[in-house]
Structure 1
């Protein structure tokens, strides 16, 4: 991630929406509950073989759920959406497993669209930001998922794009001050 020589500035940064934790909590809660149930069964089991087996499996499930939960918290405990004067940067990372960085240069962005489909996304106010770079079809490589308050973030990005357009228009007018609609 190199900064451009034109003094790229940070305009906005945020973390993705907390809804990203819900599936992990449900998954870990299921394994944790199953592990606790197996530990209780191991405590009341009459046969030693059944007791030891259920105790071992229950302990493994509880430890797995515990470690997976804290792995998710440690992986997601940072800001991962950045808007600068030149680009939008989105980090998709998981501790020790994945460290992806997605950069979308604003000079190639024609429009920013908010995809906020479904009742849950509208109630919790999160969605997907999709960047139209002229291809016309919605490609997930040009999108940022789980953006909190996507309408506000889209407005910020659109404002930065408009300022870039006006600045480049003034630079290309050879010193003359022209309105953006004059050609």
Structure 2
């Protein structure tokens, strides 16, 4: 199991935001498998998004992608996306994002949580598997969007209430709307 934590806002990532993400990463270290590591702080080129996570992290072509989980159909995805036989999960996910965008998530089988910041569209997309086997929590307040794979980490951010928003619950319950596993924020 891995961990994800990040931020997207209307302003550039300040030293205090970077510090909060670094602290989030330290608080999530228990979720990282032995021998693996979370990436360092990754800040988007425009400075409006910052995150860290692992064990899979990719930063290429203006895309920052964090992934925690397992893809049960990795071999099929490699074939479909014409990736080399030994392509790692990050390379396959990046190729899928470049080709399919949000439609990629319907193709993923297995437990996962991921976050993708795409500089071309100035968007941050967070998604998890349809059964919610990998946790992913998020909150938005006053032009700031934060996410984490641990609710305690999320609650440590300023302006995040320490309770569940029951009005949003149908988006996350198994009987909720089809977008229950996806959150998207544009700068």
With the length of structure 1 as denominator, give the TM-score of the two structures.
0.25
Q: Which has the higher helix share?
A: 1
Task: Flag the structure with larger Rg.
Answer: 1
Question: Which structure is richer in relative contact order (CA contacts within 8 A, separation 6 or more)?
Answer: 2
With the length of structure 2 as denominator, give the TM-score of the two structures.
0.24
